[in-house]
Amino acid sequence: MKVSFHGQSCIKVVTEKGITILVDPFISGNAKCDLVVAEENPDYIIVTHGHDDHVGDTVAIAQQSGATVIANVELATFLSMQGVENLAPLHIGGKRPFDFGTVKLTQAFHGSSTVQDGKIINLGLPTGFVLSVDGKHLYHSGDTGLFSDMKLIGQLNPLDIAFLPIGDNFTMGPEDAAIAAEFLQAKVVVPMHYNTFPLIAQDPHAFVASLNPELRGKVLEIGESMTI
CA atoms of 224 and 150, how far apart (whole Å): 26
Residue 21's pLDDT is 98
Residue 8 lies inside a defined structural domain of this protein: yes
> Which CATH number fits the domain that encloses residue 43?
3.60.15.10
Residue 62 lies inside a defined structural domain of this protein: yes
Residue 225 lies inside a defined structural domain of this protein: no
Residue 227 lies inside a defined structural domain of this protein: no
Residue 224 lies inside a defined structural domain of this protein: no
Please list, in sequence order, all residues whose beta carbon lies within 8 angstroms of the beta carbon of residue 30, skipping any fewer than 6 positions away: 7, 8, 53, 56, 196
Residue 78's pLDDT is 97
Mean pLDDT by 10 residues, the chain (228 residues): 98 98 97 97 98 98 98 98 97 98 98 95 97 97 98 96 98 98 98 97 98 95 97
Residue 24's pLDDT is 98
Residue 19's pLDDT is 98
Which residue type is seen at 97?
P
Residue 171's pLDDT is 98
Which residue type is seen at 205?
H
Residue 133's pLDDT is 97
Residue 66's pLDDT is 98
Task: Assess contact for 128 and 142: CB atoms under 8 A.
Answer: yes
What domain count does the chain have? 1
CA atoms of 148 and 122, how far apart (whole Å): 26
Residue 92 lies inside a defined structural domain of this protein: yes
Residue 44's pLDDT is 98
